[in-house]
Structure 1
Amino acid sequence: MNIRPSAAIRQNYNEIADLCRKTAAPIFLTKNGGGNLVDMDIETDNRREKMLKLREELLAVEEDRIAGRGGCTLDELDAYLDNVIAEV
């Protein structure tokens, strides 16, 4: 976990930006010793958003399955997952 004071982003923007890209991990910025902001590069954020969307969709499908509502064939599922993985 990378933690920096919030002043670091003003004083060392390029260093923080490079660190975000190199680690593909968020950097947590503090203010007065407490958590304040999270900074990450756009690629990492896009990847996280896609993964969250996929998890939501999988949860909805699982809820439908448990409730006995419609589903899809294995071939349909395989094609869908191939498309989702290709996007990530």
Structure 2
Amino acid sequence: MLIKSSTALRSDYTSVSNLAHETGDPIYITKNGEGDLVVMSTDAFDKREERLEQRARVLEAEARRLMSEESFTTDDVREMLKKKYAHA
């Protein structure tokens, strides 16, 4: 876990920014010794958001499966796609 003070962020933004880009990890910013903010590169944030969205989709699919909604195996889907694109 990377931790920097708000003073470090104010006085040396460039090094904090470089650290975030180099490591890809979030940097916890403290204010008066207490946690205040989390800073991360936009690339790391986008990747994190993508993983969270994927996880949410998997959980939603699992919930539907548990509620006995119709589901398909990979073989089922492969066969449906073959039929759909057979005439293309």
Do the two structures share a fold, i.e. TM-score over 0.5? yes
The runs of at least 4 consecutive aligned structure 1 residues that moved more than 6 Å come to none
1:25 counterpart residue number: 25
> Any gaps of 5 or more consecutive residues in structure 2?
79-88
Matched residues, number = 77
CA distance in 1, matches of 2:74, 2:63: 18
1:74 counterpart residue number: 74
SS at 1:58 equivalent: helix
CA distance in 1, matches of 2:23, 2:66: 39
Shift in Å at residue 26 of structure 1? 0.3
2:84 counterpart residue number: none
2:64 counterpart residue number: 64
> Any gaps of 5 or more consecutive residues in structure 1?
78-88
2:16 counterpart residue number: 16
Shift in Å at residue 67 of structure 1? 1.1
Equivalent position amino acid for 1:6 in 2: S
Shift in Å at residue 21 of structure 1? 0.5
